[in-house]
Amino acid sequence: MRLARRCLRSCKVIIGLSGSERRVLIAAMALLPAVDLSLRVLGLVKTRSILHGLSRRRSVNPRRPADPADARSDRVVRMVRVAAERSPYRVTCLRQSLVIWWLLRRGGIQNDLRIGVRRTPLGLEAHAWVESGGRPINDPDEVCSTYRVFQELFEAQSPRLDPPCDLSLDRPDAPDLIAGA
């Protein structure tokens, strides 16, 4: 009975979507498990590299960053969230962000995948999000000040594997990630 209700709710959601929203939702529903499997088998760097290669088929316009209010980027973020909520398994921020990053790049919208860490009373916590024009598009703006980007491995134009920033915590301007330790 629960399954039938869940299916009915999902059908109502899908029927209420526009054609472009349905296409993005279907793509997200297919990509989320594929990205999950790839991350488990190949790891993050290889998965990101494969997705980057697949997104090259359509050119990304570096002069047109996604505005967080932009209808296309907003539609992609919303549909990936809907697909993640309807997924039979837990979809992490990394998996959602990789799918958002790829769908936006595929649509010609410049964006960057960010992964950051922060110190909590229970230890370090990691989080992934997508930025365009220096602003997060799938998280509130505060994510940039809450998490410290620990590697900018995933610049859209560069497959470099070395971090371009000094990650030393000994710098005077370094965030206090170990406060209270």
Return the beta strands (E) in the chain as ranges. Answer: 61-65, 109-110, 112-120, 123-132, 135-136, 148-151
Candidates 135, 83, 81; CA nearest to 110 is 135
Average the pLDDT over each of 24-33, 102-111, 151-160 and give the range with the smallest value: 151-160
| Predicted local distance difference test score (pLDDT) of residue 136 | 93
For the chain, the structural domain boundaries read: 17-151
Highest-scoring range by mean pLDDT, 49-58, 92-101, 136-145, 166-175: 92-101
Whether the pLDDT of residue 151 is over 90: the answer is no
Average pLDDT over residues 134-140: 91
Whether the pLDDT of residue 173 is over 90: the answer is no
CA-angle at 96, arms to 94 and 97, nearest 5°: 65
Higher pLDDT, 161 or 74: 74
Confidence of residue 19 (pLDDT cuts 50, 70, 90): confident
Q: What sign results for the dihedral spanned by CA atoms 135, 137, 141, 147? A: negative
Cβ atoms of 124 and 118 within 8 Å: the answer is yes
